[in-house]
Structure 1
Amino acid sequence: MAEKTINPLLKSGLEYGPIVAFFAAYLLLKDRVFTFGGAEYEGFIAVTAGFVPLLVLSTLALWRLTGHLSKMQVVTLVLVVVFGGLSVWLNDDRFFKMKPTLIYLLFGGALGIGLLRGQSYLEPLMEAHLPLNKQGWMVLTKRLTAFFFGLAALNELIWRTQSTEAWVYFKTFGLTAAVFLFFMSQGAVFRKYGITKEGDQG
């Protein structure tokens, strides 16, 4: 089913609103401790407990309005529910902090499998936005695969060696900025392998 067009601001709000809400709630509640059912929960766990259903609702709303969810959105939602739920249930923040690692390993692994088969699994997902020839897609996919594995390793390093607050800042701003900078740095690939409507120019 073709994706329906909705207000760009609404779409962005549904996609990024839960992340902004998580960050704001963490800043407000990070030093508080909540008692529930005789157990004490730190602010991070309480915020995670609120983030999981919020992401579920926003993703369902996005699907309802657009009639479409990307594979990345579906995988992210499943991992947030599973690992966020485990963090809350077991009162252990490590599960939620490992979630980005698994996401990037899954995406990097999927792209890597495609490369081993001589294919770019990135092409059908982004070809409408990035007009590249076949060689260009293979180059970009190789670089993105390595980039995803690098982000997975970096997330492990940060959450295992830094404070929870440092990890929250890294997750909210660092990872987002890293993805943006990656694509900004690929200008040479887009110029060399880009195609026009008249045909391949790479």
Structure 2
Amino acid sequence: MAEKRKINPILKSVLELGPIAAFFVAYLQLRDHSFTIGGVEYEGFILVTAGFVPLILLTTGILWALTRHVSKMQIVTAVLVVLFGGLTVWLNDDRFFKMKPTAIYLLFAGVLGIGLMRGRSYLQYVMEEMVPLAQEGWMILTRRLTMFFAGLAVLNEVIWRTMSTDMWVNFKTFGLTIAIFAFFMTQGGLFKRYGIEEDAEN
């Protein structure tokens, strides 16, 4: 297996968050426009989605080329972006792309939930190197994150089905990112209680 490589954290953040920022900026520019391509009229949202799909694949590919590592969550996200983004453009229906976060978070919640039913924390396999915790801590964090992901899926469904596209784009760009950041910030007590300090070798 190829060895993981470290890259500049700023560059890594740009590659991971850049496509979302680009989607938001492009949407603001094109949301009030429509375009006729091949005799079919497309709203700006559809064209922005069409551009987002190859962009997420490009940045994911660059990230892999630079680090020789892409997380399973990033791979799953890229696959679902291609699937739901492709359906959105092909059927000229923005509902599919708006359902994408729901599918992503339900999938994550489902996988973590299956692990919990088997008495395991699949989250530990992904994050153990970044956050060393005792086994009980991993199980608690996994239960909380499973419920959190399920809640985000429900929230996404409520917002895109009952509110405007502008509201949904703002929610997707800022709301989801802030919610995930806030979730982990509120787990400080758990990290402190169950954190494992590696003993320095003498």
Taking structure 1 as the reference length, the TM-score comes to 0.96
**SS of aligned partner of 1:28:** helix
Q: Give the alignment's Cα RMSD to 1 decimal.
A: 1.1
Listed as ranges, the matches of 1:41-120 within 5 Å are: 41-120=42-121
How far did 1:38 drift? 0.7
Which amino acid is the alignment partner of residue 90 of structure 1? L
How big is each residue's C-alpha offset from its partner over 1:169-198, in whole Å with a ceiling of 9 and x where there is no partner?
Answer: 000000000000000111111121112124
Say which SS state the counterpart of residue 122 (structure 1) adopts: helix
Match of 1:137 in 2: 138
**How many equivalent residue pairs?**
199
Alpha-carbon distance in structure 2 between the residues aligned to 1:83 and 1:177: 23
Q: CA deviation at 1:6?
A: 1.4
Task: Specify the alignment match of 2:3 in structure 1.
Answer: 2
Task: Give, in whole Å, the separation in 2 of the partners of 1:58 and 1:96.
Answer: 19
The AA in structure 1 aligned to 2:187 is Q
Distance in 1 between the 2:141 and 2:123 partners? 8
Gaps of 5+ in 1: none
Q: In 2, Cα distance between the equivalents of 1:180 and 1:88? A: 31
Counterpart amino acid of residue 186 in structure 2:
S
Look up the match of 1:40: 41
1:178 and 1:2 map into 2 onto residues whose CA distance is 32
Which residue identity is paired with 1:180? F
Alignment of 1:159-174 (within 5 A): 159-174=160-175
Secondary structure at 2:122 match in 1: coil
1:32 to partner: Cα distance: 0.3
Measured against aligned partners, the alpha-carbon deviations of 1:10-53 in whole angstroms (never above 9, x if no partner) come to 21111111111000000011000010011111110010011111
> CA separation in 1, counterparts of 2:135 and 2:12?
31
TM-score, L = length of structure 2: 0.96
1:2, distance to aligned residue in structure 2 (A) = 2.7
Shift of 1:143: 0.2
Q: Distance in 2 between matches of 1:162 and 1:59?
A: 31
Please give the alpha-carbon distance, in whole angstroms, between the structure 1 residues aligned to 2:88 and 2:19: 18
